[in-house]
Amino acid sequence: MTTIKLHNSKTRKKEVFTPIDPDNVQMYVCGPTVYDRAHLGNARPVVVFDVLFRLLRHVYGDKKVTYARNFTDVDDKINTRAAESGRAIGEITSETIQWFLEDMGALGALQPTHMPRATEYIPQMIAMIEELIARDHAYEAEGHVLFAVDSWREGYGQLSGRSVDDMIAGARVEVAPYKKNPMDFVLWKPSDADQPGWESPWGRGRPGWHIECSAMSHDLLGESFDIHCGGNDLMFPHHENEIAQSCCANPEGEFARYWLHNEMLQVEGKKMSKSLGNFFTVRDLLDQGIPGEVVRFVFLQTHYRKPMDWTEKKAAEAEATLRKWRALTAGIEPAATAAAAVVDALSDDLNTAGAIAEMHKLAAAGDGAGLLAAGQLVGLLGDEMGEWAAAPSVDLSAHEARLFKARQAAMETKDFSEVDRLKAAYTEAGLEVRMSKTGVELVPGAGFDAAKLEALS
């Protein structure tokens, strides 16, 4: 069997992956808080860990991998959005979940086995909090229940490699008079009448964010499971707190054995994020005519543990490559199995760029069947994603000649309206118009849409 190696953030080493049960390999990915369209950064973990899911299915069998990814549908950011917009919380979360599934589907992400919504697991969260109180790891104070980090000094901070004292010095923690230690974090908090709330032993209230993932992963995957994934921005405090809750509530279990963290998608050196406002959504790109498959290809070209930028140049190159590959694989059946070199690259801590390099070799050798089989493994070249490429790539020389002639005529008549009209139409179709004394060049950008040229009469 193929040996998969994964970089485990818990040990900070690349390790051979050995599942607890090869007949049921389990992974959990922290999903989105649902109040807005996913931005391109949010899509990175989805695509990266979709490749992991596909690789595990390839190695262990399609039916032998269980993948859970949650929706956080109770959160103060959602409450704020509802209050601002005057809309019901349930309406906002349902709509956002639908958008998320559509947008990630367009990027070729398979649906996880389980997609739990936090609000459907409140009884499990309450039960876990009760367990933590019973084991002296949590305490009630002024309608809140807090996790006591001093009750687990030996474990708290191991993932992120910080001591509790360092954390207090470095973190912006919410100071509250009822906290025994400033690092203690909320498991349950009281709700006002106009906030969402559930009856609990501590009064009507709602869960903290971290307990949601601990309760859902426990319910769906058990007290020990194989792989836990998420962005590295979640390592502290979210994952540190998940570990504390899960290990203290279920000390017989190991919780997650391998931790994978993706690096951030950046904009000019800074994390793309909603709070910084430096973001664009996946839907924005799709609406500009950039195929989801192109977005996916661009992601796969950077290793998941390296920061990356989105650039139009990368998108244009990805599109050109995919066009060639699609032409080579049209009407061909995939090979029975993906080339060993492709599987080996992915098995080396998800070296997707290496897998793409192997796919270039297959293409250069004219091996369309091999290319398709490799494509299935990384989620490229599937029929369901290929509509964009079905449009014939147009011969632009006729358009270039037309614009050139129009300009020559305009030089004589001094009426440039036709030139302007053509230029606007070409730009609108996603072409860059380069005019010089000797000629005209039309260069397709990432959002080039040939269909728009047909309308040009």
| 146 contact, one of ligand ATP, Zn ion, none, CB 5-8 Å limit per kind | none
Instruction: Pick the closest to residue 381 from 398, 362, 408 (CA basis).
Output: 362
Q: How far is the CB of 120 from ligand ATP (least distance, A)?
A: 19
For 144, which DSSP code?
E
Determine the Cα–Cα distance for residues 322 and 374; give it in Å rounded to an integer: 13
Structure tokens at 32: 């989105």
Closer residue to ligand ATP in complex, CB, 44/257 = 44
Q: How far is the CB of 363 from ligand ATP (least distance, A)?
A: 29
Structure tokens at 164: 């509790």
Closer residue to ligand ATP in complex, CB, 81/326 = 81
189 is in an annotated binding site: no
Q: How far is the CB of 46 from Zn ion (least distance, A)?
A: 14
Does the protein bind Zn ion through residue 43 (CB under 5 A)? no
39 is in an annotated binding site: no
| 457 contact, one of Zn ion, ligand ATP, none, CB 5-8 Å limit per kind | none
Closer residue to Zn ion in complex, CB, 30/362 = 30
Instruction: Pick the closest to residue 390 from 308, 264, 272, 291 (CA basis).
Output: 291
Q: How far is the CB of 188 from ligand ATP (least distance, A)?
A: 21
| 274 contact, one of Zn ion, ligand ATP, none, CB 5-8 Å limit per kind | ligand ATP
Does the protein bind Zn ion through residue 213 (CB under 5 A)? yes
Determine the Cα–Cα distance for residues 45 and 42; give it in Å rounded to an integer: 7
| 271 contact, one of ligand ATP, Zn ion, none, CB 5-8 Å limit per kind | ligand ATP
Burial class (CB in 10 A: 0-12, 13-18, 19+), 283: middle
* Interactions with Zn ion, residue window 423-452 (CB under 5 A): none
Cis peptide bond N-terminal to 22, omega within 30: no
Structure tokens at 445: 């950008």
Amino acid identity of 111? Q
Instruction: With H, G, I as helix, E, B as strand and everything else as coil, classify residue 120.
Output: helix
Name the residue with the smallest CB distance to ligand ATP: 231
Does the protein bind Zn ion through residue 30 (CB under 5 A)? yes
Q: How far is the CB of 299 from ligand ATP (least distance, A)?
A: 10
| 217 contact, one of ligand ATP, Zn ion, none, CB 5-8 Å limit per kind | none
Query: SS3 string of 215-258?
Result: HHHHHHHCCEEEEEEEEHHHHHHHHHHHHHHHHHHCCCCCEEEE
Closer residue to Zn ion in complex, CB, 30/356 = 30
Residue count at the site for Zn ion (CB under 5 A)? Answer: 2
Closer residue to Zn ion in complex, CB, 8/352 = 8
Amino acid identity of 435? M
Q: How far is the CB of 300 from ligand ATP (least distance, A)?
A: 14
Q: How far is the CB of 2 from ligand ATP (least distance, A)?
A: 27
| 41 contact, one of Zn ion, ligand ATP, none, CB 5-8 Å limit per kind | ligand ATP
Q: How far is the CB of 172 from ligand ATP (least distance, A)?
A: 14
User: At CB < 8 A and 24+ separation, what contacts does 440-446 make?
Assistant: 440/400, 440/401, 440/403, 440/404, 440/407, 441/400, 442/396, 442/399, 442/400, 442/403, 444/316, 444/396, 445/312, 445/316, 446/288, 446/290, 446/294, 446/312, 446/315, 446/316, 446/319
Task: Return left, alpha or beta for 225; rule: phi > 0 is left, psi -120 to 50 is alpha, else beta.
Answer: beta
Closer residue to ligand ATP in complex, CB, 39/144 = 39
Question: Strands (DSSP E) along 44-143, which ranges?
Answer: 65-69, 138-141
Instruction: With H, G, I as helix, E, B as strand and everything else as coil, classify residue 287.
Output: helix
| 213 contact, one of ligand ATP, Zn ion, none, CB 5-8 Å limit per kind | Zn ion
Determine the Cα–Cα distance for residues 41 and 18; give it in Å rounded to an integer: 30
| 33 contact, one of ligand ATP, Zn ion, none, CB 5-8 Å limit per kind | ligand ATP
Closer residue to Zn ion in complex, CB, 44/58 = 44
**Residue 300: partners with Cβ closer than 8 Å, 6 or more residues away:** 47, 51, 352, 353, 355, 356, 378, 380
Binding residues for ligand ATP (CB under 6 A): 30, 32-33, 39, 41-42, 44-45, 230-231, 233-234, 262, 264-265, 271-275
| 27 contact, one of ligand ATP, Zn ion, none, CB 5-8 Å limit per kind | none
Determine the Cα–Cα distance for residues 457 and 454; give it in Å rounded to an integer: 8
Determine the Cα–Cα distance for residues 376 and 213; give it in Å rounded to an integer: 30
Closer residue to Zn ion in complex, CB, 206/296 = 206
242 is in an annotated binding site: yes
Q: How far is the CB of 111 from ligand ATP (least distance, A)?
A: 17
Structure tokens at 68: 């859970």
Closer residue to Zn ion in complex, CB, 30/267 = 30
- Known binding residues for ATP are 274
- Known binding residues are 30, 213, 238, 242, 274
What residues make contact with Zn ion under the rule CB under 5 A? 30, 213
- Known binding residues for Zn(2+) are 30, 213, 238, 242
